[in-house]
Structure 1
Amino acid sequence: MNRVGNLSLNAAIRYGLLIVIGVFLIYPLLWMIGSSFKENIDIFGTLAILPPQGRGTLENFKSAWQIKSDHILPYYFGNTMKFLIPKTIFTIVSSTLTAYVVARKKFAGKKFVFTAIIVTLLMPELAFRIPLYLLFRDVGLLNTYAALYVQDIFAAGTCSFFIFMEIQFMRSIPRELDEAAVIDGCNDLQTLIYVIVPILKPIIITVGLLCFMWGMNDFQGPLIYLRNPDKMVMSMILKQQLDGDTMVVYGKLFAASFMALLPMIAIFFAGSRYFVDGVANSGGKE
């Protein structure tokens, strides 16, 4: 009886700690959402999430929708998708192809290639900005969305992190599956597409989610490569709301951030279900 009581107490402590940590993690998001309904004077004077009674407003959302005189907020979201969708697709394809070769094939210099991936993973992304800027300038890619994803075609930049993730995942897949595919007449590409990729579904979804979220939050890349105001993306237009000589309307900024966050939340929850199921039921384990 005492043992059951101790187990219940331990479970209560663990869940209690998880609830407290969860509250601390989600509070900033809830505060931002609540502040999008507040006036400036009510935002920083209290830690309350909801606006004072009778002082909530939807004007922040109206202003955020018409975020600039010449363009509405969805225009900049559309600009973001112009580079984010190809970036995510190219990242998944190039990372998976590279990880497959490194993890499943034997070739001269394999250890050197894997070491180079790890070294690239440890380097800050800022170290690549200057050489990439000079390269894109010389080939005429500046002020184009291609400058934000062309490197992902060649599994460069942040792809090294995703390649490492996929390599580690592939190592848990029995090589007998590859051998069986070869016996059935599959070449390397067919083995990857029809045998390995279905098992890689959870990690591929994870790569896609992370790439999408990181690309959505990227401010430095678009700031460096895009010069035309009509090509501004969400991160740039949100940062612009903090600039200027006039008073910053934080409610408008929070409302715009909340609306920009909604598609990311929807995509995350849509993909997380497959991720959880995939992690529980795949990976080459019986």
Structure 2
Amino acid sequence: MKTRKRIGGIVYHVIVCGLGLIMIYPLVWMIMSSFKESNTIFTTAGQLIPKKFVLANYATGWKGFAKTGFVVFFRNSLFVAIVATLGTVFSSAFVAYGLARCRFFGRRFLFVAMLLSMMLPAQVLMIPQYLWYQKLGWVGSYRPLIVPYYFAIQGFFIYLMINFIDGIPRELDEAAKIDGCSYYSIFARIILPLITPALITASIFSFMWRWDDFLSALLYINESAKYPVSLALKLFCDPGSSSDYGAMFAMATLSIMPAVLIFIGLQKYLVEGISTSGLKG
């Protein structure tokens, strides 16, 4: 039995490691290609390690386009991702608290509508949203990428926080009411500190989604100086002339660093938040 278990464990780890290598290989290939000369990237595509490491791709990519350095695109992405994430997390927590703790007419209907919104493909809303933002005069600005997230449109985050709030004993709310706390005070002083893992998890996912959002920026941003990183990367690829794939891979490598650093630094809270363990009374 011990031998069989040992063999099974070895087979399991070999399969998992093999699948992991298959998944991570494109990322490693992109990083290694960023150190190759641009004209040799695809001629030596089967060679993972460059024969000669060059840093010219990073220097070229960082210069950007039309006197707009790539640092501007990073700044644009950080602005959109951070501001939209703050609105998403706060509004989702506020709505989740209302659905989990407050009793009012239409509560069940709103909860079901929130669940249905999670099942609705974003492509269905794309045209109506664009026409709406166009009439508001928002096209060409960052408002379509930021303002909607201050109105709790992310049903997944609301559902996640509801699960955490349901795990908090209601006796804490009742004790706070006896001490004279209002619903807003209970939310700020008791609920928010106790759902920190859910808040951090929502922040990580929201930041990554906003940072990687290519389609929304493509629809609403029409000035290159306002491009986020996700949209600026396509400027390196010009089907009508030559494409600088080396610079593109170099900037793509830099663009994943914020998400990687956030994931590494907050991994503990991410695992705890996804498990939705909450608190046990």
Q: TM-score, normalised by structure 2?
A: 0.91
Partner of 2:103 in structure 1? 106
Q: Give the SS at the match of 1:106.
A: coil
Partner of 1:126 in structure 2? 123
Q: Of 137, 145, 164, which residue of structure 1 is paired with 2:159?
A: 164
Letter in 2 for 1:39: E
Partner of 1:21 in structure 2? 19
Of 269-278 and 198-207, the range deviating more from structure 2: 269-278
- Inter-CA distance 278–198: structure 2 relative to 1 (3 Å threshold): farther
Where structure 1 has 5 or more consecutive residues not aligned to the other structure, the ranges are none
Q: Of 165, 178, 181, which residue of structure 2 is paired with 1:186?
A: 181
Instruction: Determine if contact 1:199/1:282 at 8 Å carries over to the other structure.
Output: no
C-alpha displacement at 1:277, in angstroms?
A: 5.9
Partner of 1:230 in structure 2? 225
Q: 1:3-59: CA deviations, max 9, x gaps? A: x444433433333332222222221111110010112443334333211x2x32211
Q: Give the SS at the match of 1:185.
A: coil
1:58-69 correspondence to structure 2 within 5 Å: 58-69=55-66
Partner of 1:215 in structure 2? 210
Q: Give the SS at the match of 2:18.
A: helix
How many pairs were matched up? 280
1:75-114 correspondence to structure 2 within 5 Å: 75-114=72-111
Q: 1:228-252: CA deviations, max 9, x gaps? A: 2221111111122223422222111
1:164 and 1:106 map into 2 onto residues whose CA distance is 17
Q: Of 25, 28, 31, which residue of structure 2 is paired with 1:30?
A: 28
2:257 and 2:131 map into 1 onto residues whose CA distance is 35
Q: Of 263, 266, 270, which residue of structure 1 is paired with 2:265?
A: 270
- Inter-CA distance 198–275: structure 2 relative to 1 (3 Å threshold): farther
Partner of 2:9 in structure 1? 11
1:284 to 2:279 alignment: yes
1:9 and 1:167 map into 2 onto residues whose CA distance is 43
- Inter-CA distance 183–234: structure 2 relative to 1 (3 Å threshold): same
Where structure 2 has 5 or more consecutive residues not aligned to the other structure, the ranges are none
Q: TM-score, normalised by structure 1?
A: 0.89
Of 85-94 and 217-226, the range deviating more from structure 2: 217-226
2:274 and 2:227 map into 1 onto residues whose CA distance is 37
1:47 to 2:46 alignment: yes
Partner of 1:239 in structure 2? 234
2:275 and 2:128 map into 1 onto residues whose CA distance is 42
Instruction: Determine if contact 2:163/2:276 at 8 Å carries over to the other structure.
Output: no
Q: Sequence identity of aligned pairs in percent?
A: 34
C-alpha displacement at 1:265, in angstroms?
A: 1.1
- Inter-CA distance 188–80: structure 2 relative to 1 (3 Å threshold): same
1:24 and 1:259 map into 2 onto residues whose CA distance is 22
2:114 and 2:135 map into 1 onto residues whose CA distance is 26
- Inter-CA distance 194–21: structure 2 relative to 1 (3 Å threshold): farther
Q: Give the SS at the match of 1:149.
A: helix
- Inter-CA distance 256–82: structure 2 relative to 1 (3 Å threshold): same
Q: 1:211-244: CA deviations, max 9, x gaps? A: 1111111111111111222211111111222234
Letter in 2 for 1:108: F
Q: Give the SS at the match of 1:46.
A: coil
Of 39-48 and 67-76, the range deviating more from structure 2: 39-48
- Inter-CA distance 49–181: structure 2 relative to 1 (3 Å threshold): farther
RMSD over aligned Cα, in angstroms? 2.2
- Inter-CA distance 71–160: structure 2 relative to 1 (3 Å threshold): same
C-alpha displacement at 1:202, in angstroms?
A: 1.3
